[in-house]
Amino acid sequence: MINSKSVNTFLKKISYLLVCTLLAISCGFDNKTTDLITVSENDIILWNKDSFPLTMYIDNSFTASEVSSIKEASSLWEAAVEIDVFNSFPSFTPVNYSKTEDYYYLDDRMAIYKASHQVESLRPNILALTQLYIKLVKKIDGRQIFHIEHFDVFMNDFYFNFNDGGGSGEYDFKTIVLHEIGHVFGISGHIDNTIMNGYGSTNIVTHSIDPDIKQDLYDIYHIDLYQLPSKVYISHISTTPLTSTTAIVSFQLLKD
Ligand SMILES: [Zn+2]
């Protein structure tokens, strides 16, 4: 039952909050957040071609067959853009950090990691995750163009099993890796019923890239950005703004 005393207390709380909010705005506490970059669905994310070729470090806990799948998946995307993006795939022993961001801040390698330990952002419903450090380079008709300056790919081995072929509660490794490396090349979101679908399934084995997606990515690297048609890729993108021009964006592949 609502009595006048609880209504009074409620009103007091509301007016207190209102005063605090007004004070915060007038003192300029909000300025910091309004200066931070936002990344929208129509923005374009790509590498500066001058930064090619790149090195992709491979966590040495991947099996020989998984390493082959990683290299084959990279080659398929390179064929799509018709550029040699990666020239070497050295093996290394990663440090086990507890946050995905630490793999950007504390480990300067661009790498693919087999996360067999628990990592904060790799929740129990996330099969794999790609994070990109991006920097705003220009704006075209309200669309922002970002250059990718760093990537990290995580296979969530703490919660999931990956194999060769999927089924029986396991996910096909090469299908998932092909999807993630698509983000590394600049596919900035998810597209239903394609290799860039936002959900992974134990029943899906796809080792090829859809022609439309190949074309989209080719256009981003070869056509004058001013002439690119608007595309809206959606879902499972999380943005951590860092400054007015930089951010870390993460793409999460969820289990279906
Ligand atoms: Zn994805």
For the stretch 203-233, pLDDT in tens is: 999 999 999 999 999 999 999 888 887 776 7
What is the share, in percent, of the chain residues with pLDDT greater than 90?
Answer: 74
Whether residue 133 contacts residue 246, with contact meaning beta carbons closer than 8 Å, is answered with yes
Distance 183 CA to ligand 1 centre (A): 7
Indicate whether 15 pLDDT > 80: no
Rg (CA), the chain: 21
Q: Give residue 162's pLDDT.
A: 98
Indicate whether 179 pLDDT > 90: yes
Q: Residues 132-178: pLDDT tens digits?
A: 999 999 999 889 999 999 999 999 999 999 999 999 999 999 999 99
Distance 32 CA to ligand 1 centre (A): 30
**What is the C-alpha to C-alpha distance for residues 127 and 201, in angstroms, rounded to an integer?**
10
Distance 89 CA to ligand 1 centre (A): 22
Indicate whether 51 pLDDT > 60: yes
Indicate whether 32 pLDDT > 60: no
Indicate whether 122 pLDDT > 80: yes
Mean of the pLDDT values across residues 7-24?
A: 50
Is residue 9 very low, low, confident or very high in pLDDT (cuts 50, 70, 90)? low
**What is the C-alpha to C-alpha distance for residues 107 and 14, in angstroms, rounded to an integer?**
46
Distance 127 CA to ligand 1 centre (A): 10
Mean of the pLDDT values across residues 90-106?
A: 96
Indicate whether 1 pLDDT > 70: no
Indicate whether 110 pLDDT > 60: yes
**What is the C-alpha to C-alpha distance for residues 254 and 92, in angstroms, rounded to an integer?**
27
Spell out the residues 6+ positions from residue 151 whose beta carbon is closer than 8 angstroms to its own: 110, 130, 131, 132, 133, 183, 184
Indicate whether 195 pLDDT > 80: yes
Question: CB within 5 A of ion ligand 1: which residues?
Answer: 251, 253
Indicate whether 22 pLDDT > 50: no
Distance 20 CA to ligand 1 centre (A): 40
Indicate whether 23 pLDDT > 50: no
Distance 178 CA to ligand 1 centre (A): 10
Distance 128 CA to ligand 1 centre (A): 8
> Using N-to-C axis directions, what is the helix angle for 173-185 and 64-81, rounded to 10°?
40
